Structure 1
Amino acid sequence: MEEIKSFDNRVSSKHIKKLIELINKEIEYRKKKNYPSIAAAGSDNEEFVYRSSVLKKFTESILFLNTRVQPEGKIVEQLIFSFAAGLAMVFATGVAFYTQAKYGNFTMMFFIALVISYMFKDRIKELVRIYLNNKIQRFFYDHKVNICSGSRRNRLGFSREGFSFISEGNLAPEILKLRARDPFNLIDNELGAEKIILYQKQVKIFSRNFDDVYQNHPIKGINDITRLSVSRFVRKMDNPKKALFVTNGSGYQRTNGSKVYHLNMVIKQSSQDKDIYNRFRIVLNRRGIKRIEEVNIP
């Protein structure tokens, strides 16, 4: 009804009256059929909202795909852990055998050697695990999402996502060029190093499966929505308003300035044919996103 009121200046009262009559007839019909999905004034309308939400999901289910998330690279990760543990055990056992052969059993030197080898064994295992994990990580994503049909019976594709912090030296030259820092940005970065987040997403669609499942509904493409939460970014930001003083002729007056932070985003979309680049600047303050600016790429 609020939406109808918003049309008052654009739609004639005659049409609004007809629309309200149609709504009233629909409500009367639902009452006669004892449908519980009727909104009423003075009620929290919990059941109406719940049923409306369920019906909306049901009617829109043909437009959405279901996903199943699973971690990726777990078997390789466990193999790395096993190899690291085995290498550490080789060191500890080698020290024990050497000390036993040189000093004999149940001696103080043998006891000290066992303790030291045990201390180093755990550190060696952890260092080898971290080293190998960092080397292997570039070939794997954090998790894999299987894309299924609305009924979850057919696998239509998958997507893989990865997230990591990287140094500027590991950035691709074309990305670094698009970042195009100006001298003022360089000063800011020297005071506090710019943190770089690398987010990767690979999407694979099985076109034949799509044709089989949706043969009666020709589909030209799908939309993949990526959500970025900035709640943790803004948590420790400064106050969004700063007090400033400006002159006004012979005196001065107090005014406010906005305290903002810039989050620069360079997006690379790759396909078999070409690469597409976009750059955005997300302007934030402690209250959230203030605006998003698209930066022209030279």
Structure 2
Amino acid sequence: MIKESLKIHGHRQFEIKQRVSFDHAKTKNIKYQVETYFFLPVALQINPQSYSTKEFQKSLKNYVRLSPATHKLKYFYKKKGMLEKLSIELEHWSIESPEIEYYENALKRVALTYKRSLRLAVKSLLKAPNQKTEDNILQLLLDIEKTIKAYRELEIKCRSIEKKITSNAFEYCDEYISWVTTFYLRKLITERAIPCRAEISHAWREEINYREQEYPESIAKPGESNEEVLHRWSSLRRYINRYLFLDINHRKGAPLLLHTIYATIAAISMSITLFVMLNIRGGQYADISMKVFIALVLAYIFRDRFKDISKRKMQQWFQRWLPDRKLLIYKEGVKSPIGICKESFRFIYYGILPDDVKAVYQQANDGFLTYTEKDVDILFYKKEVHLKNQPNLFEKTRFPIADISRFNISDYLRYIDIAFEELPFLEEDETPVLGEKIYHVYMIRRIRLNSDQNVATELVRLVINVDGIKRLEVLKSLDFSKEQDASFQDLQ
């Protein structure tokens, strides 16, 4: 199952996040395919002549992120809980020094799991009015206090290990936990009709005071730019989250097959030249005349043109099996790749669109001046992801994988020259009225899981102007078949 969300990042970027779910026990390989069709108005002049696939690759960023496990806050400090298990590991590492990655990842895992657990606990309180009781609030504050206390009691063990391996992971994770705690306590304080407001405010102030004492550089000051504070938080968050992100190594798509095709074309081309040389004048060409010389030159020119034209044709024929880019996916600490992502970028014409994509596109404008194939250029992006479900690789959570893509539309704005345009009126003495100049870019996405039956289609409209993305509208949400949802529920 795939759950998807879209959101705008600034004026020039939008993000698509796909959270992938699978059965940890039964699934050996996780496979899914995403086809994205961009319907671009011709006025934007984004076409094969002005916009290459390499430019599109530069405007696209892909990330694959794992999700931390889901636990209740009590799991951190209870007997045989997460922090007690970490304490046992630290005692072992104090005798035998661990690799720095294993040590730091163990602490990062605690920090990230704590953030997820706290976020879900606060979200549950805020979304369900019947959960906003004094008992629940006090229990949450107690769980937070005990969890943080249990983590900070590990400081002595961590410091002794960090002297040997040169690391500040405990300090960084401690500051991160403090940041996260104050952030979510602040969300509770600002909620209307929340009970125990004084107790929540006291817990929030205690954690702020702790950071002022231990990490004064992390405290923002009113009336100042606080750029260093923001930079510190961004760097800290990036350091902690690095544990979740998988490494992506770029490769060219199917180079062996591509070189085999080129070699075959070159062999055919050279055979044509040799055939001409060996057959002119009955095979006797020791005394080459001018006519023979010209014939050989023409044969070589023909061979060269034949080779170039054949390359283009063969690429078009084999484009289905020749990805433009291959991404090898690695996990920190695992030498061999745990997955692969194959990407294809190209412009296509309307006639080869799948029938279901055509049907969705025809409904995009509710029957009002629906664009025809002459009014749009269609940019096609295809992504095939194959991940291996290795033991101890993915945390046992419902959506262990987040596949994130970010598109930058700066190139789409190159030929937008005006922000407003005067509207026509019948009367000459009417005061001119301006209308904002906007363009609609439709995006249809088809997602296929493992088998062809598990297909879902989504329709999105990007409204853009001279400044960038004005809004993003989901006209048709991603919706898999009920049969698939039922089969997924059986696996849980």
* TM bin (shorter chain): 0.7 to 0.9
Which amino acid in 1 is paired with 2:258? E
1:97-150 superposed Cα distances (whole Å, 9 cap, x missing partner): 222437742211111111111111110111111111211111122122222223
1:184 aligns with: 369
Q: 1:82 aligns with which of 263, 274, 277?
A: 263
Contact 2:211 2:218 in 1 (8 A): no
Which amino acid in 2 is paired with 1:114? L
Q: 1:232, CA displacement in angstroms?
A: 0.7
1:288 aligns with: 468
d(CA) in 2 for partners of 1:9, 1:50? 28
Change (3 A) 1:193 1:150: same
Q: 1:25, CA displacement in angstroms?
A: 4.6
SS in 2 for 1:176: helix
Which amino acid in 1 is paired with 2:475? V
Which amino acid in 1 is paired with 2:466? R
d(CA) in 2 for partners of 1:278, 1:42? 44
Question: Are 1:196 and 2:378 matched, yes or no?
Answer: yes
Contact 2:347 2:377 in 1 (8 A): yes
SS in 2 for 1:213: coil
Question: Are 1:106 and 2:288 matched, yes or no?
Answer: yes
1:92 aligns with: 273
Contact 1:103 1:110 in 2 (8 A): no
Q: 1:94, CA displacement in angstroms?
A: 1.4
2:436 aligns with: 258
d(CA) in 2 for partners of 1:73, 1:176? 30
1:234 aligns with: 413
Q: Which has the higher contact order (CA 8 A, sep 6+)?
A: 2
Change (3 A) 1:66 1:220: farther
For structure 1, list consecutive stretches of 5 or more residues without a partner in the other structure: none
Deviates more, 1:112-121 or 1:144-153: 144-153
Identical aligned pairs, as a percentage?
Answer: 24
SS in 2 for 1:137: coil
Which amino acid in 1 is paired with 2:238? K
Q: 1:204, CA displacement in angstroms?
A: 1.6
Q: 1:236, CA displacement in angstroms?
A: 0.6
1:82-105 superposed Cα distances (whole Å, 9 cap, x missing partner): 111111111112112222437742
Contact 1:69 1:144 in 2 (8 A): yes
1:274 aligns with: 454
Q: 1:175 aligns with which of 353, 357, 381?
A: 357
d(CA) in 2 for partners of 1:116, 1:251? 71
Which amino acid in 2 is paired with 1:212? N
Equivalent positions of 1:107-256 (< 5 A) are: 107-153=289-335, 155-180=337-362, 182=367, 184-186=369-371, 189=372, 192-207=374-389, 209=390, 211-214=391-394, 217-221=395-399, 222-244=401-423, 252-256=430-434
Question: Are 1:26 and 2:208 matched, yes or no?
Answer: no
1:55 aligns with: 236
d(CA) in 2 for partners of 1:170, 1:245? 39
Contact 2:277 2:283 in 1 (8 A): no
* Aligned pairs, number: 282
Equivalent positions of 1:1-12 (< 5 A) are: none
Question: Are 1:68 and 2:246 matched, yes or no?
Answer: no
SS in 1 for 2:397: coil
Contact 2:362 2:370 in 1 (8 A): no
Which amino acid in 1 is paired with 2:443? M
Which amino acid in 2 is paired with 1:256? L
RMSD: 3.5
For structure 2, list consecutive stretches of 5 or more residues without a partner in the other structure: 1-182, 478-492
Q: 1:79, CA displacement in angstroms?
A: 1.1
Q: 1:198, CA displacement in angstroms?
A: 1.5
Q: 1:253, CA displacement in angstroms?
A: 2.2
Change (3 A) 1:230 1:101: same
Contact 1:99 1:109 in 2 (8 A): no
Q: 1:220, CA displacement in angstroms?
A: 2.5
Q: TM-score, normalised by structure 1?
A: 0.79
d(CA) in 1 for partners of 2:476, 2:203? 49
Which amino acid in 1 is paired with 2:472? I
Q: TM-score, normalised by structure 2?
A: 0.50
Change (3 A) 1:193 1:114: farther
Contact 2:442 2:462 in 1 (8 A): yes
Contact 1:103 1:109 in 2 (8 A): no
d(CA) in 2 for partners of 1:194, 1:291? 20
Q: 1:195, CA displacement in angstroms?
A: 1.1
d(CA) in 2 for partners of 1:282, 1:42? 36
Contact 1:245 1:253 in 2 (8 A): no
